[in-house]
Structure 1
C-alpha cells in the first residue's frame, strides 16, 4: 500500500467517524422545571426561545399539589446549562391560536453558578402571560361600553361588504411584505437609498423650475383640444397654436428626460413592491368608497366653519376652562367639606326651622326635641306694665339687657323624638351624626 492510498483511507475513516458522531451522538441538552401561576394555554411542543431564537421546547405540563403549573422544558446545547438568575416568561406570538404561546428565557450571567440538570425555577423567577380578557377586565364600565360601540360601528360600516373587504384583505399583507422588501433592499446599501433620495429631489427640483412652462403647456393643450372638440373649423387655429405649444413643451420634455434618467434607480428598486399593488388597489376601492361618508361626517365634526362650533374649537377652549374651573372646583369642594358638620347639626331640627320660617317666628313646629307638641311659646317684649301708687298702670320700656332675664337654653339636650314613646322599630329618639343631643335625656313617665 502506498503512502497516498494510506492517507486517503485515513481521511475516509475520519469523515465516517465525524458523520457517526453527528448522527448518532445527539444534540445534548438539559431539562428544567418551571413553576408558573398558570400555564397560559401552553401545550406540549411549544417553543422555548432566547432573544427570539428557538433553543428548546416544552416537554410536559403538570399541576402541582398547590395548584400551580409545573412546565418541564428541554434546553438544547450550546445554550445549556443555564445559570442562576435565569427568568422565564410565557409570551404570545399572536392571538390567532393557543399554539402561538412560547416560553421566553432571560439567561442569568455566565459568571453565576450553573443550574443542574432537572433544576427548578420557582414562581419568583417566572412570569405568566396576561390574556386579552384580563386586559379588558382592567377597563372601567364606561371604557368597555365605548369600546363596544367602536366595534358595533365597524360592524355597521362593513355590513353587506364582507366579500369586498375579504378580497381586499388578501392583498394587504402582500403589499406590506413588498413594501418591507423594498425598504429592506434600499436600506441594505446606504448608497442606493441616498441615490433614490437625490434622484427624487432632482426630479422635483426640475419640475419646480419648469412649473411656469408646464402650466403654459397644459393651458395650450387644453385650448387646442378644446377647440378641436368644439368645432372642426377651429382645427386650423389649434394647429396654428401647436408650434408654440410644442416649442414650450420641447424644453420641458428635455429637462424631464434628464429627471427621468435620475429616477430610474428609484423605479428599479420599487418594482418588487408594485407587483400586486394594482390588484390590491382595485379590490380596496369599494371599501374606500364606502368610507367616504364616514370621513365627511368626521371632517364636519372636527372642523365646521365658524367660531366655537366644532371639536377643534372645543379642544382649544379646554386649557382656559381648566385654568378657570380648577380653583372654583377646589374651593367648592373645600366649602362643602367645611359645611358638612353644620348640615349634620341642623338636619335633625329641620321641622323646627321650616315651621319657624312658615309662621315668621309666630309659632314653633308641632314636633321637636322637647316633646310631641310645643307647650310654651316664648315672647320677648320690649315694654312692661308698671302699677303706680294711685293704682293706675303705665307702659314702660324694658332695657335690652333685661329682656332675656331668667331665660335658659341649656336645660335639656334631648334628641329628636325623645318627647314621645319609643317606637318598636327604634326610630326614636334619633341621635343624628354630627348632632349634640343626649339620647339618655328622656322625659319622665312611661
Structure 2
C-alpha cells in the first residue's frame, strides 16, 4: 500500500491539472458560455459573423456572440453575452467590424446619445442602433486601379488602414489621403521609369526597323539551314551511329595495343640509357663513317655490285705443339694495287 499511494496521488494531481487546463481551453475557445448577461441585436447584414466571435468595447473583449438567427424573414438577430460587471445602456450602439483582412468579424459596442438607462437582460437592440460591416468588395473595387500597381505588402497595409479609418478605429481621413498621395507619387515615379523604358524600346525597335532586310535574310538563311538539317536528318543520324561505332572500335584497339605499347616504351627507356652510356663510342663511330662511305662509294662506282681486288696475301697457320707456319706473301703488280686504291 505504501508503494502505490505516491503513484496514486501523482495520478490524481495529473488528472486534476489536465481537467483544469481542458476547461480553461474550452472556455477560451467558446465551448462553454461565459458567465454574463445575454442581449439581442438586430442587423440588416451579419455576413461573416459567427458564434464565438468577440464582443468588444473600445477594443477590449467583454463577451462573445452566442447565437445568430433570421427573424422577420430578412433581418438577422444576434444574441451575445457580456460580462456582468460591464454595464450596457439602452442607448448602446452595436456595429459589426472587421477583425483582420482574413475576414474575421466582431461586435463593437459603443455608447450612444440617450438617458443611459441600463438595458435589461435579453433586451433587444433595434436596427436603428446597429450597423452592418463594410462591404469590402464595393470598397476595394474603387481602389482597384491603385492596388494593381502596388506590391502585396503595400496593398495589405493600405487596405487595413482604409478599414480602420472607415470603422473609426484609428487614423483620420487626412492621414489616409496622405498615405494614398504618397503611394500615388511612387506610382508617378514608376510611370516616369516606364516612360523611359518605352522610349528606349522605341529606339531599339527603330534600329530593328532600319535593318529589317538583313534580319529577314538572316531568318530566311536560318530557315534554309534548319530545312537542310531536316532533309539530311537520316544521314546525320547514320553518321552519328558510325561515329559511335568508330569510337568503340578505337577504344577496343587502344585496349589491345596498350600492353605492347607500354612494353615498347619501357624498352625505349632501356635503349636510351644504353645509348647515353656509350655516347663516346657512338660519337667516334659516326666520325669515321664519312671516310668509310667514301671508300665504299668508290668500290661500288662501276655498277650495282662491289669490285674487290686482292693485292697482297699472306697467311699464318697455327699447329698445336709446333711453331706457327707462315706462308710466303703474294703481291700483285697491277697499277690499281700500286696506287693503293681498293683492297
Q: TM-score range by the shorter chain?
A: 0.3 to 0.5
Length-normalised TM-score, structure 2: 0.34
| TM-score normalised by L of structure 1 | 0.26
Larger Rg: 2
Q: Which protein has the bigger strand share?
A: 2
